[in-house]
Chain A
Amino acid sequence: MASERLIERKRVFHQYKEDVKERGKPFYPFAMLHDTIMSLVVVSVITGLAIVWKYTTPGDHHTIDPGWLGRLYDAPADPGTINFVPRPDWYFYFLFYLLRIFKWPETVVIGTVGLPTVLLIILLAIPFIDVRPERRLLRRPVAIVASILVVISMGVLTYKGATAKEALGSEIVGHVPSWAAKEGFTGNKQAIAGAKIFAVAGCLNCHTYLGDGGTNLGAPDLSAEGAKNKGIAFQIAHLKCPACVNSGSPMPSFAGLGDARLKQIAAFLEASKGPKK
């Protein structure tokens, strides 16, 4: 009966207090010694990381090799260009990678809001789901399996997020002629210029185009964007403020590229009617 359980757990806690009073050890100096040693280790590790960072970094953003722990700082923020995967700090990699699994717009909300909320609620609810007094691990099989699964999946997602391929603009620009041939816009100067900007502006970190680039945040493949016939004006408006025309869009604004370049990108998008077979 539930009330018996409640009485029993009160009794056990009472016993705990008694036991600690009778045969516990004083916090100082015993436990405190360990805490102090551990804290010293923590401070040394942090200091060590700072020193390693400083002395193994190649300097600033002009070198390609980031050193062991990364650059001291990147190029200054420039709202006009994005030339690498927008990457959060490592402890968000798992969320970030999770987002690749979901496709815009049907399910991306599940990844961005649904999962984190569910995880948070589960975490908060743990003490109320698992109300048995049993604390010995071998007698808590569900807890063991759940924690192993969580550790493995977090580990895998973090690793995947860390090694996610970055689309290197400089390499992809070389593909523009072959894009033009496949999509049949070789004669269209505006579209070719737009394709070159498209290749280096960071679009391919979220979008794919004829197999180049990588999916992120559920962004759609753009190889046949022109087949939707949305029109140049729509494309420019969307690039300037994605969320204004496609409500809730997580795509960043590219207004910083300037009207002339946006027009070229729009021409390229509209010329991309899908690969000709």
Chain B
Amino acid sequence: MATQKLTPKEQVQEAILYPIDWLEERSGLVGGIKYFLFRRVPGDINWFQTLGSATLTAFIVQALTGSILAMYYKPDPQNAYSSIQHITNDVFAGWLVRGMHRWGASVFIILMFMHMGRVFLFGAYKYPRELNWIIGVLLLTMGLAEGFTGYLLPWDQTAYWATVVGINLNGTAPFLGPFISQFLQGGTYIDDGTIARFYAIHMLMIPGAIIALIVLHLYLVIRLGVTSPPWSKEAAGTGSMLKPSRNGRRGLTRPGPRRKG
């Protein structure tokens, strides 16, 4: 069998495609990514619908800056405060990483609320997306819990007393309250045990849960698709459109001439 001689251009193509094919054959990942990228979304989606991915970005910033902080932070009452001072004043760009983590937390929470607001105003929680709304509410509570547990870690006066009061408030809950307080404190008082617990909850348990929930959330977003803005005259689901858009350049990216529909 005479193999054809490949031109140099074809050789380069082969070399590039080979590893991609290799991966696809063994995992199907390439197809998955292609599906994700080239799946169709309604032609009229708008800027408010970027708030979800903006929230995801804020979370990723938290995960990255948090991992760097974890390399220098010491979760015990004797060293926590001085390790925060060390990060802020001595570590190269430590102030930047800590500042981004600290303010990123607020941005993350604001974005979560704004994203939830847009989902509410768009009525995007309705059939068949109820489950994704529930996952979203869980993400919201997890996000707030991250805020609460992270607040103690600098171990300064603000942190300490806000947490004392927060834990005590928890303790006023009927039945489970006192147990939750004891669990959080790691004993009857706020001490070494507390800071270690808050740290473990803040950097392992809740982030793990958030990542798992985000994966589920995005799976449902891709499976069900995102909704068109409710005011759109061309909203997907109404079937009111006459001509299909050939290049997809409609809606916000490049508003084409309005077709009457």
Chain A residues engaging chain B, CB cutoff 8 angstroms: 9, 12-13, 15-28, 30-35, 37-39, 41-43, 45-47, 49-51, 53-54, 61, 69, 72-79, 82-84, 86-92, 99, 108-109, 112-113, 120, 123-124, 126-128, 130-137, 140, 143, 147, 202, 217, 243, 248-253
Residues of A within 8 A of B37 (CB): 26-28, 32
- Closest residue on chain B to residue A34 by CB atoms: B50
Q: How far is the CB of A90 from chain B (nearest CB, A)?
A: 7
With A and B bound together, what is the CA distance between A154 and B222 in angstroms? Answer: 32
State whether B173 touches A134 (Cβ < 8 A): no
Question: A32, A42, A133: which contacts B54 (Cβ < 8 A)?
Answer: A42
Most buried by A among B40, B61, B227: B40
State whether B253 touches A77 (Cβ < 8 A): no
Q: Contacts A42-B58, A250-B165 hold; do A72 and B190 have CB atoms under 8 A apart?
A: no
Q: How far is the CB of B240 from chain A (nearest CB, A)?
A: 9
The segment out of B7-15, B18-26, B81-89 that lies at the interface is B81-89
Question: A24, A69, A126: which contacts B133 (Cβ < 8 A)?
Answer: A126
State whether B88 touches A73 (Cβ < 8 A): yes
Is B199 part of the binding interface, using a Cβ–Cβ cutoff of 8 Å? Answer: no
State whether B169 touches A76 (Cβ < 8 A): no
Q: Contacts A109-B174, A113-B177 hold; do A34 and B40 have CB atoms under 8 A apart?
A: no
Q: How many residues of B contact A (CB 8 A)?
A: 100
Is B107 part of the binding interface, using a Cβ–Cβ cutoff of 8 Å? Answer: yes
Residues of B within 8 A of A128 (CB): 130
Is B203 part of the binding interface, using a Cβ–Cβ cutoff of 8 Å? Answer: no
State whether B99 touches A54 (Cβ < 8 A): yes
State whether B41 touches A24 (Cβ < 8 A): yes
State whether A135 touches B189 (Cβ < 8 A): no
Most buried by A among B127, B162, B253: B127
Is B67 part of the binding interface, using a Cβ–Cβ cutoff of 8 Å? Answer: no
State whether B174 touches A19 (Cβ < 8 A): no
State whether A15 touches B239 (Cβ < 8 A): yes
Residues of B within 8 A of A28 (CB): 37-38
- Closest residue on chain B to residue A124 by CB atoms: B137
Is B3 part of the binding interface, using a Cβ–Cβ cutoff of 8 Å? Answer: no
Is B155 part of the binding interface, using a Cβ–Cβ cutoff of 8 Å? Answer: yes
State whether B103 touches A50 (Cβ < 8 A): yes
Residues of A within 8 A of B32 (CB): none
With A and B bound together, what is the CA distance between A83 and B161 in angstroms? Answer: 10
State whether B147 touches A79 (Cβ < 8 A): no
State whether B244 touches A23 (Cβ < 8 A): yes
State whether B166 touches A137 (Cβ < 8 A): no
State whether A47 touches B100 (Cβ < 8 A): yes
- Closest residue on chain B to residue A121 by CB atoms: B137
State whether B102 touches A250 (Cβ < 8 A): no
State whether A136 touches B230 (Cβ < 8 A): yes
State whether A135 touches B126 (Cβ < 8 A): yes
Most buried by B among A35, A134, A217: A35
The segment out of B68-76, B115-123, B210-218 that lies at the interface is B115-123
Q: How far is the CB of B81 from chain A (nearest CB, A)?
A: 5
State whether A46 touches B151 (Cβ < 8 A): no
Further 9 A-B residue pairs, CB within 8 A, beyond A69-B103, A92-B144, A112-B173: A16-B237, A34-B253, A51-B99, A75-B156, A120-B137, A123-B140, A127-B130, A133-B127, A147-B117
Q: How far is the CB of B220 from chain A (nearest CB, A)?
A: 13
Is B186 part of the binding interface, using a Cβ–Cβ cutoff of 8 Å? Answer: no
Residues of A within 8 A of B4 (CB): none
With A and B bound together, what is the CA distance between A26 and B250 in angstroms? Answer: 11
Q: How far is the CB of B130 from chain A (nearest CB, A)?
A: 4
Residues of B within 8 A of A15 (CB): 236-239
Is B248 part of the binding interface, using a Cβ–Cβ cutoff of 8 Å? Answer: yes
With A and B bound together, what is the CA distance between A79 and B253 in angstroms? Answer: 56
Residues of chain B from 131 to 147 with CB closer than 8 A to chain A in the complex:
133-134, 137, 140-141, 144, 147
Q: What are 9 pairs between A and B in contact, CB < 8 Å?
A: A13-B237, A15-B239, A25-B253, A53-B102, A88-B151, A99-B169, A130-B123, A130-B126, A217-B169
State whether A39 touches B42 (Cβ < 8 A): no
Is B104 part of the binding interface, using a Cβ–Cβ cutoff of 8 Å? Answer: yes
